[in-house]
A and B are shown apart, each in its own frame.
Chain A
Amino acid sequence: TQLLEQSPQFLSIQEGENLTVYCNSSSVFSSLQWYRQEPGEGPVLLVTVVTGGEVKKLKRLTFQFGDARKDSSLHITAAQPGDTGLYLCAGEENDYKLSFGAGTTVTVRA
Chain B
Amino acid sequence: GAGVSQSPSNKVTEKGKDVELRCDPISGHTALYWYRQSLGQGLEFLIYFQGNSAPDKSGLPSDRFSAERTGGSVSTLTIQRTQQEDSAVYLCASSLFGGRRETQYFGPGTRLLVL
Residues of chain A whose beta carbon lies under 8 Å from any beta carbon of chain B: 1, 4, 6, 30-31, 40-45, 48, 50, 88, 90, 92, 95-103
Contacts and interface: CB of A to CB of B under 8 A. Distances in A.
B67 interface: no
Nearest to A96: B98
A41 B100 CA distance: 24
16 contacts: A4-B42, A31-B100, A31-B101, A41-B106, A42-B107, A43-B106, A88-B43, A92-B101, A95-B100, A96-B98, A96-B99, A98-B104, A100-B35, A101-B42, A102-B40, A102-B41
B42 A100 contact: yes
Interface of B: 4, 31, 33, 35, 40-45, 48, 50, 56, 91, 93, 95, 98-104, 106-109
Nearest to B3: A42
Given A40-B108, A96-B102, A102-B40, 19 more contacts: A1-B45, A30-B100, A40-B109, A41-B109, A42-B4, A48-B103, A50-B101, A88-B42, A88-B43, A95-B98, A95-B100, A96-B48, A96-B98, A96-B100, A97-B45, A100-B35, A100-B43, A101-B42, A102-B41
